Structure 1
Amino acid sequence: MITDPASYLALVTALAVACQVVAWAVRIPSILILLIVGFGLGQLVTPDAVLGRDVLFGGVSLAVGVILFEGSLSLRFKDISDLGRTTLRLCTVTVAVAWGLITLTVWFLGFPVELALLVGAVLVVTGPTVIGPILRQLRPTRRIAALLRWEGILVDPIGAILAVLVFQAVLAGASADPFGAVVVTLGTTILTAVVIALVLGLLLELAIKRHLVPDFLHGAVFLAAAVGALALSNSIESESGLLTVTLLGIYLANRPNLHLEHVATFQEHLQVLLVGILFVVLAGRVAPGAVVDIAPVAGIFVLVLVLVIRPVSIQLALLGTGSTKEERRLLAFMAPRGIVAAAVTSIFALELSHAAERVSDPAHAARLDQLGEQASQMVPLVFLVIVATVAIYGLGVGRLAERLGLATTSPQGVILAGGDEWIVRVAQALDDLGVDVVMVSVYRVALNRARMAGIRVEMANLLSDYVVRDMELAGLKTFVAATDQDERNAIAAREFSHVLGRKHVFQLAPAATEHVGSDRTETASHLTARTPFAPALEYKELTERAQHMDVRRTSLTKKYTYADFQQMYDGRAIALFTVRGDEVDVVTEKSSIEGNVTLITLVPRTD
């Protein structure tokens, strides 16, 4: 058995990363694998025994705060400029309706009303730790992605605050003024969060804009600021830190000319690691016997939660907001619970079990002691809800989104950046095969020609904020930068690699320098993307050759192979794309083209 904290944490870290790699490979939500592995590890060693409860829950609180801070750094008001009312209703009315319905359901299932209110507060959250991976895999429309992201991040601290208010009311009981305690707690929480977030945000903004902190320390400074804000806020008012770090992140994300992309990247990598560790650790605290005991009740609860509570709360909240019927339907079936629900439930279950020791009134102490014993059922109930909702929404939302026309589970579309005539002809060939194509350029003539051919066009600077951040990417998988400027291609490719992945991002071969192969003249490999097409040509040569070539679609088979095709054109053809069923790939010089596939090429023009 592992008793050394260092060995335990090393094992948990390795398992957390391995689970997420496996989940990415098999295209299922990583949380499902993380929870299963966590349950299994918990049978061998429990985190409480190795780390101790104080260290465990202190670490959990800090990690959750960092996760919410990372998520809030992506919340820009510009993303919801046309969704302000919908977002507000989603984070207020939906929460209120869901809290009431969940509380009633839990109460009907036999829980005391105090615990029902607490569970209801905890489970109004949806969770960025679950929404984020699903969005990366699903890549829905910009509107849906913005709504889900804002709801997932903003509602997390709201749910935690609701839970704190319920907990304070339960502690106050009949011996004091519960309503007064709730009002004071709410006021203190909001005031504390706003003041700390505003003051710290201003200081960080001043330090960055005046270059008081070197670039290599930006990530560490922002991490320290988030952790410090969380701890300071919690010391003033319990569990107010989550709201503080969320407001801090939103403030920083929306300050003009405050470029924090490198900080966001650092925080994102840290978030991925922390999410995996937290799920493995917290799942290890749940005993199999407790899960079995609560499973029948949890099954009924999940069905009501998915089929009744979420759809009703969405329809009531978003009615008359301007959201479309398809958007409301998708939002109604997209509410997986995440790490905040698990962490907050674990913390308050522990607090309730010790609450009776701090109360002098015997009757009230006896009631709190009884609630503490019953609170032990909250943790396995919430974990089963997390598993079930992640499985239901994570595995089923893709098919629903496709049927509603809001996303695709297997995006294959292509972004072609450039304004040359051959690009228009290639885009039309892809479009004729049913491939989604977007052509990005600043040249009106080329865009008009593409638009007349039925191609979706975006007239924009390739390096503009619109293209990098706001352009609709639903259904798109591949980016090919083919402008006449190598540096522009490289910069755009690096930006798109953050969204599409380096595997699917290409730029034309850079122009040859005078001293080929010199490390002083060649562009560094980490600053360039993959090179497309076979042979891989630079812009000038490709453009000149394309003027005397036609775009051709050729069906290759086992009898008529790629080698046969190249032999027919004496190796002068330029292979561009392959289309195999619904799968579209860019041809490179390392591609192995075999079997039945449609090949798109540029071939020498014949009379």
Structure 2
Amino acid sequence: MEASFEITLQIVIAVFAGISAQVLAASLRVPSIVFLLMFGILLGSDGFGLLDPHMLGTGLEVIVALATAIILFEGGLSLDLEELSKVSTSLQLLVTLGTMITLLGGSMAVHWLGEFPWPIAFLYASLVVVTGPTVVSPLLKQINVDRQVATLLEGEGVLIDPVGAILAVVVLNTILNDHTDFMTAMSSLTLRLGVGGVIGAAGGWLMSLISKRANFLSFELKNLVVLAGLWGLFALSQMIRSESGLMTVVVAGVVFGASSVPEERLLRRFKGQLTILSVSVLFILLAADLSIASVFALGWGGVFTVLVLMFIVRPINILFCTWNSEFNWRQKLFLSWVAPRGIVSASVASLFAILLTERGINGGEAIKALVFLTIIMTVFCQGLTAAWFAKCLEITSKDAIGAVIVGCNPLSLLIARLFQEWGEPVVMIDTDAQRSEQAQAQNLRVISSSALDTGVLEEAGLGEMGTFLAMTSNGEVNFVLAQRAAEEFNPPRVLAVFPRDPQATISTNENTVSQALIPDLPIKTWNDYVNDGQVKLGTTTLNESSFDLQQEHLMALIRAGELIPLLVEREQHLQVMPAAQEWEVGDRIIYLLHDPRPQLLKRLSGASQSTRLALEKLPKVEEIPLAKLSQLSRSDARTP
């Protein structure tokens, strides 16, 4: 009874410490692995001694195997095949040629600098050819790097994990059986990849078929069926050929994700939650098992080995694998810098250390220590500086321009034209054919379809746009559309016109979807104002001397329902105004003012129909008659 309680306590401590590390990392916006490593080491034998993974016995290997299967399946599920096709050549080279470059470069570095014997040197290099998707993906989401770069890094992390793990098994088998020749090793590698690929493809298709056809199952039960299925595929593949299971779960995730399964968004959320839990527990347990003395025993040779891996081997890898690609030098430099190692390296190294020790072969603890030193150095050096580096290289997606706007109504058409006149691409989406034609008549690109269809959003190019704005007459629909766009494409700015407390906002992530323009915008009323010509378009620049007065005046008009701020120009970027936007000195506010004097606007409507907005030429404070934008109103609307 006491032994079972001790094991239970170990698991509880690991879970509590792991989730605490995730929460702290999220609040400070740093990679979670930083705190996972710190907490694990502090709780382990070299810290407070509260956590002893050896008490789990063989259960530790089981936890590592099943948790790693979930992590890699979720990674495969998240791969965007359409985006991958744009970088397919570079990705293929990274997984093949890049693996060989890292294997050779890493083994030479650790042999000459770390003084490891060649067999152990090759084993270490095979463990660090993988990059960590559990580190890379959260990191890229935090810094919002250019989508093409993010796709390549995420694809590399997911696809190279099983390849690297299987390669490491082949090298280990070669060490344990010194008579194994090169051809035998390569055939073993190919066989494992083939077995894993076939079982994964078949299993992924079967799971997607069940999810589509089994309508009698609730969504919650379907989630558990998929979980049981991926573990079943993993076990089957391992039974047929050891260490082929990792490839199986990745391929199963890719096939399942490409099958357009209903409620896939919710399934991904469930698997994402399991991945966070798995990563948290694994890193805590494995870090707690690390001996700090073995890390210090590596000396400067270990440090120099990792530095060579980071500053020589990785850049050479990227140089060869992206030679004829469309990546510019800034993107290539960032790719060369970001290659943190993660959970697969740590878990496989821990298992190998046990196997080598059991066979009486020296070097197991040294390899484990050097792998963890590699993880620590790459995560701290690259993970903590990636955001700063991306900003310096100007490759963050926050700088992305253009907008995808759902809903063709007078107010949304006005915003679309403002973006267009600013020189930014705009795509509008609406299911109403007549409204779509009216928008097309204003030289706007329109897609007549439903924005709930992910393929429509892809066709609109949302992956490369800076803003998504949902402005239909239904606030709840707007929120659902914005949430879907944020989860599937993660554009820098996602806004929607929705009520303050709609029923659909029970699961609102305020950091993802922002309320557009003003709270509780009466969009129908303002559409009528625009149609009837009872508005003026104006702009004002907030200056330091009268900032408070200007802001108070504008807010008073907003509260009175007489004004809505549409856009803000800040640092030469044009953005849709969020309702909770905090204004700053120097902001240029472009607003719409209600003016119930249509006769006055009629007398001011002498401007040509083709007059451009020329917002960049507007003075500090000026109101512009909407007559200059008469092309925006519907064809049957009264001309102001």
What TM-score do the two structures reach when normalised by structure 1?
Answer: 0.83
**Which residue number in structure 2 is paired with residue 81 of structure 1?**
85
The residue type paired with residue 131 of structure 1 is: V
* Residue 526 in structure 1 maps to residue 530 in structure 2: no
The CA deviation at 1:581 is 6.3
1:384 alignment partner, one of 373, 381, 389 = 373
Matching of residue 95 in structure 1 with residue 83 in structure 2: no
Structure 1, residues 499-531: CA drift from partner, whole Å, max 9, x if none? 5889964432469xxxxx9xxxx8554388764
Q: Which moved more, 1:229-238 or 1:466-475?
A: 466-475
The answer for the alignment partner of 2:591 in structure 1 is 601
Determine if contact 1:416/1:437 at 8 Å carries over to the other structure.
Answer: no
Deviates more, 1:425-434 or 1:201-210: 425-434
Q: 1:300 — aligned with what?
A: 304
**How far apart, in 1, do the equivalents of 2:82 and 2:488 lie?**
19
Give the superposition deviation at 1:433: 9.4
- Say if 2:520 is the partner of 1:536: yes
- Distance in 2 separating the partners of 1:510 and 1:228: 45
CA distance, structure 2, for counterparts of residue 579 and residue 196 of structure 1: 53
The residue number in structure 1 matching 2:127 is 122
In structure 2, C-alpha distance between the alignment counterparts of 1:313 and 1:77, rounded to whole Å: 23
Kindly tell me: are residues 317 and 574 of structure 1, through their superposed partners in 2, closer, same or farther at Cα, counting changes over 3 Å?
Answer: closer
AA in 1 matched with 2:213: R
- Structure 2 matches for 1:276-295, cutoff 5 A? 276-295=280-299
Q: CA deviation at 1:536?
A: 2.1
Given that residues 193 and 243 in structure 1 are in contact (C-alpha distance below 8 angstroms), is that contact kept between their aligned partners in structure 2?
A: yes
* Kept in 2: contact 1:412–1:582 (CA 8 A): no
Aligned to 1:72: 76
Q: Deviations over 1:280-316 (max 9, x none)?
A: 2211111222222225223212221111101111212
Q: Kindly state the Cα deviation for residue 459 of structure 1 after the two structures are TM-superposed.
A: 4.6
Secondary structure of 2:384's partner?
Answer: helix
* 1:104 and 2:108 are equivalent in the alignment: yes
Deviations 1:416-437 (A, max 9, x none): 4333444354456679999x78
**Larger displacement relative to structure 2 (479-488 or 128-137):** 479-488
- Aligned residue in 2 for 1:440: 428
**Alignment match, 1:4:** 6
Q: Write the distance in 2 (CA, Å) between the matches of 1:301 and 1:68.
A: 28
Comparing 180-189 with 242-251, greater Cα deviation is found at 180-189
The structure-2 alpha-carbon separation of the partners of 1:51 and 1:428, relative to structure 1 and needing over 3 Å to count, comes to farther
1:118 offset after TM fit, Å?
A: 0.7
Matched, 1:55 2:59: yes
> Is residue 404–residue 429 contact of structure 2 (8 Å, CA) maintained in 1?
no
Contact 2:518 / 2:564 at 8 angstroms: preserved in 1? yes
- 2:26 corresponds to which of 2, 24, 27: 24
1:399-445 per-residue CA deviation (whole Å, 9 max, x = no partner) reads 443454432468898654333444354456679999x7855335365
| Residues 257-297 of structure 1, C-alpha deviations (whole Å, 9 max, x = no match) | 66633222211111112112221221111122222222522
Mapped to 2, the partners of 1:582 and 1:403 lie a distance apart of 17
1:550 aligns with: 536
Call closer, same or farther: CA 1:295–1:472 in 2, change over 3 Å: farther
User: Is 465-474 or 548-557 further displaced after alignment?
Assistant: 465-474
* Preserved CA contact (<8 Å) 2:53 2:60: no
Change (3 A) 1:472 1:388: farther
Equivalent-residue separation in structure 1 for 2:171 and 2:297 (angstroms): 26
2:499–2:519: 8 Å Cα contact kept in structure 1? Answer: no
Q: Which residue of 2 aligns with 1:266?
A: 270
Deviation at 1:592?
7.2
Structure 1 residues 190, 446: closer, same or farther in 2, change over 3 A? same
Name the amino acid aligned to 2:165: A
User: Secondary structure of 1:560's match?
Assistant: helix
Give 1:560's match in structure 2, choosing from 549, 554, 576.
549
Q: Which moved more, 1:182-191 or 1:411-420?
A: 411-420
CA separation of 1:300 and 1:603: change in aligned 2, threshold 3 A: same
Q: Distance in 2 between matches of 1:472 and 1:399?
A: 25
- Alpha-carbon distance in structure 2 between the residues aligned to 1:82 and 1:593: 39
Aligned to 1:514: none
CA deviation after TM superposition for structure 1 residue 6, in Å: 2.5
Partner Cα distance (1:5, 1:438) in 2? 58
Paired residue type of 1:7: L
* Partner residue in 2 for 1:336: 340
> 1:209-243 CA deviation, whole Å, 9 max, x = no partner?
32166132111111111122222322333322111
1:464 maps to 2:453: yes
Q: What letter matches 1:526 in structure 2?
A: I
Distance, in Å, in 2 between the alignment partners of 1:501 and 1:84 is 21
TM-aligned CA deviation for residue 116 of structure 1: 0.7
* Distance in 2 between residues matched to 1:309 and 1:167, nearest whole Å: 22
- Displacement of 1:603 in angstroms is 1.3
5+ residue gaps, structure 2, are: 431-435, 601-640
Residue of 190, 195, 200 corresponding to 2:193:
190
Q: Secondary structure at the match of 1:286?
A: coil
Counterpart code for 2:429 = S
Alpha-carbon distance change, 37 to 585 in structure 1, aligned in 2, over 3 angstroms: farther
Instruction: State the secondary structure of the residue aligned to 2:592.
Output: strand
- The one of 238, 241, 245 aligned to 2:245: 241
1:209 corresponds to which letter in structure 2? Answer: K
Deviations 1:239-264 (A, max 9, x none): 22111111211222223666633222
Matches within 5 A, 1:390-539: 390-408=379-397, 416-426=405-415, 438-441=426-429, 443=436, 446=439, 449=442, 459=447, 461=449, 462-468=451-457, 471-473=461-463, 476=466, 479-486=468-475, 488-498=477-487, 505-509=494-498, 523-526=503-506, 531-534=515-518, 536-539=520-523
Structure 1 residues 460 and 121: alpha-carbon distance in aligned structure 2, compared to 1, 3 A threshold: farther
CA shift, 1:541, in A, is 1.3
Alpha-carbon contact 1:572-1:604 (below 8 Å) kept: yes
Q: Give the Cα–Cα distance (whole angstroms) in 1 for the partners of residues 193 and 29 of structure 2.
A: 40
Q: Structure 2 CA distance, aligned partners of 1:332 and 1:599?
A: 40
Relative to structure 1, the CA distance from residue 298 to residue 90 in structure 2 (aligned partners, 3 Å threshold; closer, same or farther) is same
How many aligned positions are there? 573
**CA-atom RMSD, angstroms?**
3.6
CA distance in 2, matches of 1:327, 1:596: 31
Partner Cα separation in structure 2 for residue 238 and residue 262 of structure 1: 32
Structure 2 letter corresponding to 1:144: V
For residue 572 of structure 1, report the CA deviation from its aligned partner: 1.6
Contact 1:561 1:595 in 2 (8 A): no
Tell me the CA shift for residue 59 of structure 1. Answer: 0.5
Give the gaps of 5 or more residues in structure 1: 357-367, 452-456, 512-516
1:94-173 alignment, distance < 5 Å: 94-109=98-113, 110-173=115-178
Distance 1:257 1:129 in 2: 24
Residues 1:157 and 1:574: Cα distance change in structure 2 (over 3 Å): same
| Shift of residue 601, structure 1, vs aligned partner | 2.7
| Residue 540 of structure 1: how far off its partner (Å) | 1.5
SS at match of 2:286: helix
> Are 2:232 and 1:221 aligned?
no
The separation in 1 between residues aligned to 2:108 and 2:441, in whole angstroms, is: 58
Task: Assess, with a 3 A threshold, how the Cα gap between structure 1 residues 447 and 6 changes in structure 2: closer, same or farther.
Answer: farther
Distance 2:446 2:330 in 1: 25
Give me the whole-angstrom Cα distance separating, in 1, the residues matched to 2:476 and 2:554: 34
Cα distance change on mapping 1:564 and 1:194 into 2, 3 Å: closer
Q: Does the residue aligned with 1:125 lie in a helix, a strand or coil?
A: coil
CA contact (8 A) 2:106 2:309 kept: yes
- TM score, norm. by length of structure 2: 0.79
**In 2, distance between residues paired with 1:379 and 1:51?**
19
